[in-house]
A and B are shown apart, each in its own frame.
Chain A
Amino acid sequence: MTNHWIDIKNADCIMIIGSNAAENHPISFRWVTKAMDNGAKLISVDPRFTRTSARADIYAPMRSGADIAFIDGIMNYVIENNLYNKDYLVDHTNASFLVDEGFAFDDGLFTGYDKAKRMYAKDTWRYQLDADGNPKKDPTLQDPRCVFQLLKNHLSRYTPEKVSSITGCPSELIVEVAKTYGATGAKDKSGTIMYAMGTTQHTVGTQNVRTYAMLQLLLGNVGVAGGGINALRGESNVQGSTDHAILFHILSGYLKTPRVEDQTLAQYLEHWTPKSNDPKSANWWQHTPKYMVSLLKAYWRDKAQKDNEFCYQYLPKLSANCDHIAMFEAMYDGVIKGLICMGQNPAVGGPNVLKEKKALESLDWLVAADLWETETAGFWAEPGADSNEIKTEVFMLPAAASMEKEGSITNSGRWMQWRYMAVHPPGDAKTDLWILDQICKELKKLYQSEGGAFPDPIVHLHWNYGEGREEPDVHLVAKEINGYDLTTGQLVPSFAGLKDDGTTSSGNWLYCASYTEKGNMAARRGLEDAPNKIGLYPGWAWCWPVNRRIIYNRASCDLQGNPYAPHKWVVKWTGPETKWAGDVPDGGWPPGDKYSFIMKPEGHARLFGFGLADGPFPEHYEPLEAPVKNAMSSQQLNPVIKIWTGEMDDVGTVDKFPIIATTYRVTEHWQAGQMTRNNPWLVELMPDMFVEMSKSLAQAKGVKNGDRVRVSTARGHIVAYAVVTNRFKPFRLNGRAYEQIGLPWHFGFKGLAKGDSANSLTPHVGDANTNIPEYKAFLCDVVKEVG
């Protein structure tokens, strides 16, 4: 989130899209309700009328996989009807920047596309530069090559009628949403967009998020109270997991994993450190060398010295994607031999669970650390599996639950909150920290004594979380993450103190200032709000970066530092002595000295987003399995996604699978169900797997509420109870009616409550930028189950 949970209460309009916040983030509705008590309007955009829609002022039905068309349509309306915040666009975004004459868009493709390689060469996706090497601008936004005019042109194709025909949402409703949300373009009004996996889990997921960011920029809603682009993360600590770089393509604090062409540290730093010739651009990523070297010092401490590139050569260099789908494809093909699975249950979470379970059979060994023996840990004993034929050696490590261990979790709002251990773990269950510490210590010992292909990175890994202790000291881990001044041994007070000369270490530059000589900031529980009284609570826990609660917050002011919305000001300039008041300013420079979007080398937020793999402007493409041809162009699919064509990767077409399908979560169950399907109170609420369908579909299939039905896709089938409801209705796409169904994905073959796994149905295909699987839009068929 650019903002945070409590801040939602400050919004004048809330759009919940690609999210069912009432069901999956129920506590967020505390803040949504407070906003509504103050007159805020709630808009729910969803293929299905949910418990969120039940609270909404406007419910807009939209078929799964049409989000870009929908929001591009809203943006088109905003531009056509002058609802955008022009001053904000000129002062804070690249709307006025001129784009290379060679850049163009035609029939679904931008310039630079290589069809054979399925990728773009981005030579034309750039600004025109002046003599100083800075982007040329037209602050009147009239130049035909300025971003604003190019965007306006690109979006002009997304009329309400066209959008209605693609999304299945009536055009009057599209206009009503655009008018209502567009009203937050007023200087003193703000709108917030709450989104989740309904947005991200598509082959166009990243561009989906881009449309929200762009809409918010058009309306001046970024950096303000009650605004922002707010991802409702899917687990309580997944924000922590991405911050600490559990994903293959990043290092701590969103530094880049070295690629194979970054052969030396110097080459790596040259490649990834952005430059700017504009003295008004803070270009914060220019400090990359300080963060990278400090990270290397955290990993290898005294071994890492200037003369050995701070052990840069110990880091693996990427030559291919190693995302979840690629990993399981490699497992299936016998390339990956062993898997450590901690608190994850891919045998239910999928996607394409039938292939992923088969992939587990190819492993030599599997280590599963979890609270229960999950469907993944017990895959070899699934009813129907022949365990005699399965050679995988499985190690089950009982793990401690979150209240059985001390440490921090980072929520969607970037708040790092410290937790104490409330109860001891049962039996032999151990904390993840203990498990990892034991594995690392043992690996070091073995590599030290037995050698190996390249033992140095492990043998020399700096690893001291409490000598002579059974349980590692999690406070030492937190301090390591914060970082040290290695010359004094003191904790660094913030990332401003990090250096690239090897005198500082930091496990994660973003978390610098979270644990300092003043103490454990994440453990604070201060109940006093900041003077601006917008729910910042700066003394409660700690958030990154440097406890700044609303990022990009200088964009909430004009260039003199006066808030656009004085009644809900975030920061304001009070003068050269007392400087900025309110939230931690996003850069303490006086107003007008530096541009407000400091993380971009040009200091401006990007309406023209050339950093993405699939295009600088969002364009509608159909999901891999789509009911219709792309009405916007002849480019049916996202042009840069990887299409997997191995065994068990079959793709379905609309002639055999005419019904749109999506998956979702419910309040009553949690993820792959290990915890909730073993809790009698929750099992009482939702004991069985079900599928929701419209009354018309049920009638056509001879199905009544409570009947058993078979749902099948090109990859497999499941059986579930039918929930026949008026909350699904067929969508009119290009004049024809298409039905859609929805499936909760929480069920599996183990536990107190068992049921077929919805992810037996989903495909192995991922987003163009993040590779997140397309769980949310595919094709199926439904029949009444006989016998």
Chain B
Amino acid sequence: MAEKAILLDMEKCIACRACQVACKQWNELPGEKTTFFAAAGGYQNPIGLSPSTFTLVKFYEMEEQERIKWLFRVHRCMQCVDPACVKACPVTPKAMTHVKETGAIYVNRELCIGCGACREYCPFTIPVIDTEAGKSTKCTFCFDRMANGLEPACAKACPTDCLVFGDRDKILAMAHKAVDRLRKKGRRPAIYGEKELGTGTKKVLVLPEPLDYYPDVIKNPKVSEDLGLFHELLKPFGALTLTAALVGMVLGKVKEVKERKESLVSKTEEG
């Protein structure tokens, strides 16, 4: 099997939320208690990703030269090609599992200690720690479906083929064709997930408008350089004695070091 990917050709999205509900159904996640809508500009619910919500459709209402525009974006784990969350996961064996054949990255709940390092080092800040259960939660890329020759639940549910599952090289080719199609229609499309982080991500979004139109999308996602320091500081502690609290302390220490460095830099600049 080759490395898999999902194309998200957002111009084809009708914001039906079939992907959102199919994901909940497959992962047996509950509906959250919500009120009204989570954000202006559309019907988004709930307010963000959570232990009960692994994928979320966002709405962007705007106007351009008196023409109304309504853009949609599906927000979830980008399933990076070179995942920082896996690198960050401090336990051995790693709870953040990276399946070699398909590239699927998912949380092994039996191993996970809920320390939050994955969230801390995710360039998109995706994983949400379920503090009650003490586990990290995020999109699993339906690794279990993939292992049985099925496509992810979201891609299966999508009625318009906005979401398409396939080998990553083919998905990238489709993304480029989508860009051609959109340019012909007078749009200014952007691909998000091809070159981001250098090696890209396995969720490849084709947005019909430039990134500026999606203010909550991280323009130049980067993996923090502190990852090395984090692991340095963890070394003295035996892998088997790690707890969420302990890792939390270490993350705090890393932050301290980083802030001291930054204040030194700015002092130097002032002086």
A residues contacting B by CB (< 8 A) are 22-23, 26-27, 29-30, 32-33, 37, 49, 51-55, 57, 59, 666-668, 679-688, 690, 705-706, 721, 723-727
Instruction: Say how far A614's CB is from chain B's closest CB, in angstroms.
Output: 35
Judge whether A53 and B45 touch: CB under 8 Å: no
Judge whether B36 and A690 touch: CB under 8 Å: yes
Instruction: Say how far A14's CB is from chain B's closest CB, in angstroms.
Output: 14
Question: Which A residues touch B63, using CB under 8 A?
Answer: 726
Interface of B is mostly: loop
Q: Mark B7-37, 1 if CB is under 8 A from A, else 0.
A: 0000110111110110011000011111111
Taken together as a complex, chains A and B put the C-alpha atoms of A688 and B70 apart, in Å, by 22
> Looking at the complex, which one of B12, B43, B72 makes contact with A685 (CB distance below 8 Å)?
B43
Given A22-B16, A23-B14; A686-B161 close (CB under 8 Å): no
Judge whether A23 and B16 touch: CB under 8 Å: yes
A57 (CB) vs chain B CBs: closest residue:
B185
Instruction: Say how far B157's CB is from chain A's closest CB, in angstroms.
Output: 10
Kindly identify, within residues 46 to 78 of chain B, every residue whose CB is under 8 Å from any CB belonging to chain A.
Answer: 46, 61-63, 67-72
Taken together as a complex, chains A and B put the C-alpha atoms of A666 and B16 apart, in Å, by 9
Judge whether A33 and B70 touch: CB under 8 Å: no
Instruction: Say how far A342's CB is from chain B's closest CB, in angstroms.
Output: 28
Taken together as a complex, chains A and B put the C-alpha atoms of A53 and B181 apart, in Å, by 19
Q: Is B134 an interface residue (CB 8 A)?
A: no
Judge whether A723 and B37 touch: CB under 8 Å: yes
> Looking at the complex, which one of B20, B46, B70, B161 makes contact with A54 (CB distance below 8 Å)?
B70
Judge whether B159 and A49 touch: CB under 8 Å: no
Q: Is B199 an interface residue (CB 8 A)?
A: no
Q: Mark B142-184, 1 if CB is under 8 A from A, else 0.
A: 0000000000000000011100000000000000000001000
Question: Which A residues touch B240, using CB under 8 A?
Answer: none
Given A29-B159, A53-B68; A685-B36 close (CB under 8 Å): no
Taken together as a complex, chains A and B put the C-alpha atoms of A59 and B14 apart, in Å, by 15
> Looking at the complex, which one of B16, B25, B32 makes contact with A26 (CB distance below 8 Å)?
B16
Taken together as a complex, chains A and B put the C-alpha atoms of A32 and B33 apart, in Å, by 34
Judge whether B68 and A30 touch: CB under 8 Å: no
Kindly identify, within residues 202 to 260 of chain B, every residue whose CB is under 8 Å from any CB belonging to chain A.
Answer: none
A170 (CB) vs chain B CBs: closest residue:
B66
Judge whether A680 and B14 touch: CB under 8 Å: no
Instruction: Say how far A773's CB is from chain B's closest CB, in angstroms.
Output: 27
Given A30-B160, A37-B181, A727-B68; A55-B30 close (CB under 8 Å): no
B36 (CB) vs chain A CBs: closest residue:
A721
Q: Is B1 an interface residue (CB 8 A)?
A: no
Judge whether A668 and B17 touch: CB under 8 Å: yes
User: Can you give 19 contacting A-B residue pairs, CB < 8 Å?
Assistant: A23-B16, A26-B160, A29-B14, A33-B161, A51-B14, A54-B70, A54-B71, A59-B68, A681-B31, A682-B21, A684-B31, A684-B33, A684-B45, A685-B21, A687-B34, A688-B35, A721-B36, A725-B41, A726-B68
Given A22-B14, A681-B21, A686-B43; A53-B70 close (CB under 8 Å): yes
Which of A53, A690, A723 has the most chain B CB atoms closer than 10 A to its own CB? A723
Instruction: Say how far B213's CB is from chain A's closest CB, in angstroms.
Output: 13
Interface of A is mostly: mixed
Question: Which B residues touch A52, using CB under 8 A?
Answer: 14
Taken together as a complex, chains A and B put the C-alpha atoms of A625 and B43 apart, in Å, by 30
Question: Which B residues touch A57, using CB under 8 A?
Answer: 185
> Looking at the complex, which one of A37, A680, A690 makes contact with B31 (CB distance below 8 Å)?
A680
Judge whether A33 and B32 touch: CB under 8 Å: no
B15 (CB) vs chain A CBs: closest residue:
A51
Given A37-B181, A51-B15; A706-B36 close (CB under 8 Å): yes
Q: Is B133 an interface residue (CB 8 A)?
A: no
Taken together as a complex, chains A and B put the C-alpha atoms of A418 and B15 apart, in Å, by 30
A28 (CB) vs chain B CBs: closest residue:
B159
Judge whether A51 and B70 touch: CB under 8 Å: yes
Taken together as a complex, chains A and B put the C-alpha atoms of A679 and B24 apart, in Å, by 12
B178 (CB) vs chain A CBs: closest residue:
A37
Instruction: Say how far A93's CB is from chain B's closest CB, in angstroms.
Output: 35
Judge whether B16 and A681 touch: CB under 8 Å: no
A752 (CB) vs chain B CBs: closest residue:
B31
Taken together as a complex, chains A and B put the C-alpha atoms of A57 and B35 apart, in Å, by 34
Taken together as a complex, chains A and B put the C-alpha atoms of A22 and B33 apart, in Å, by 26
Judge whether B20 and A685 touch: CB under 8 Å: yes
Instruction: Say how far A706's CB is from chain B's closest CB, in angstroms.
Output: 6
Taken together as a complex, chains A and B put the C-alpha atoms of A89 and B30 apart, in Å, by 58
Kindly identify, within residues 65 to 107 of chain B, every residue whose CB is under 8 Å from any CB belonging to chain A.
Answer: 67-72
Question: Which A residues touch B25, using CB under 8 A?
Answer: 681
Question: Which B residues touch A682, using CB under 8 A?
Answer: 21, 31
Judge whether A687 and B45 touch: CB under 8 Å: yes
Given contacts A57-B185, A683-B31, A727-B70, 12 further A-B contacts (CB under 8 A): A26-B18, A29-B159, A32-B160, A37-B181, A54-B69, A667-B14, A680-B30, A680-B31, A681-B25, A683-B34, A684-B45, A725-B61
